[in-house]
Structure 1
């Protein structure tokens, strides 16, 4: 692993969830969400990023999103289901990311709004360029993801340390 190679974090919001009579944590994906999760997985595969690690919230909708998306990837990364990602603030997510081992180069985090959207903005500081414009215009709808790059260790990840490299959201 070259020191010059930046690390990549993909912040991936769960796909569209249904609203049955269950607790928020137990909400499953809606039919549209199942379709969008697979499409997002294909888009992640097209990015060419080979993930070393997936961190996924323990909520049903995030686990289902990841299960459908990962089937589209050429390589299945080690997946850790992390209860601290459920309803996490950007600061709480950074604390989880600061614990990632430094032999991890590329990571995908499957979580919830407003945490993942806020984190994309906080980590990237000034959101410029085409990806930034798309994210400003679209927000962070269900099944959207942002690709951020940064140099240094996971322990040193902090606000403004990353750059927004790409952004994708499903069509309405």
Structure 2
């Protein structure tokens, strides 16, 4: 692919987790989370973004979210479970995204707040329509996602270079 072609990155927060007596990394999805993950998958399919790569945190709740959402997509991308996504800051997440090979056009990152919301804020130098207003008003709840586009290589992805083109979150 040409590096001049626009790329899309979807930042997807895991669905609502349960609070059993287990370490945070091992928390599973709550019943509502399982429902919302599937709904988010259908909404991701509606965006018509075809993902070449999924980068998913290793936590139980992110893996469960992705497993339920990806079933709704027409094309199942290669999935890489990345320990560095768990509890990562926006800067650490950018470092992970900068390592994506240039033959990957579109990617999805399944992670956690506050990192996912912060990353969307940091990357979006601009936005289309009311996407930023909706994202800021909602505060990036569980199972929400933001779609951003940018030009250039993954190594060139840095604060302010992307445009927030869509934002979605399940109704409360």
TM-score, normalised to structure 1, is: 0.97
- Mapped to 2, the partners of 1:44 and 1:70 lie a distance apart of 9
Structure 2 residue aligned with 1:154: 154
Structure 2 residue aligned with 1:119: 119
**1:127 CA displacement:** 5.0
Q: How many residues align?
A: 172
**1:5 CA displacement:** 2.7
**1:133 CA displacement:** 1.1
| 1:129 aligned counterpart, secondary structure | coil
Structure 1 residues not aligned, in runs of 5+: none
**1:2 CA displacement:** 4.7
Q: Once the two structures are superposed, what CA deviation does each residue of 1:81-121 show, in whole Å capped at 9, x if it has no partner?
A: 00000000000000000000000000000000000000000
Question: Does the CA-based 8 Å contact 2:126-2:164 persist in structure 1?
Answer: no
Structure 1 residue aligned with 2:87: 87
| 1:76 aligned counterpart, secondary structure | coil
For the aligned residue pairs, the C-alpha RMSD in angstroms reads 1.1
**1:136 CA displacement:** 1.3
Question: Does the CA-based 8 Å contact 1:99-1:154 persist in structure 2?
Answer: yes
| 2:130 aligned counterpart, secondary structure | helix
**1:125 CA displacement:** 2.9
Question: Does the CA-based 8 Å contact 1:121-1:127 persist in structure 2?
Answer: no
| 2:15 aligned counterpart, secondary structure | coil
Structure 2 residues not aligned, in runs of 5+: none
The correspondence of residues 13-162 of structure 1 with structure 2, limited to 5 A, is 13-127=13-127, 129-162=129-162
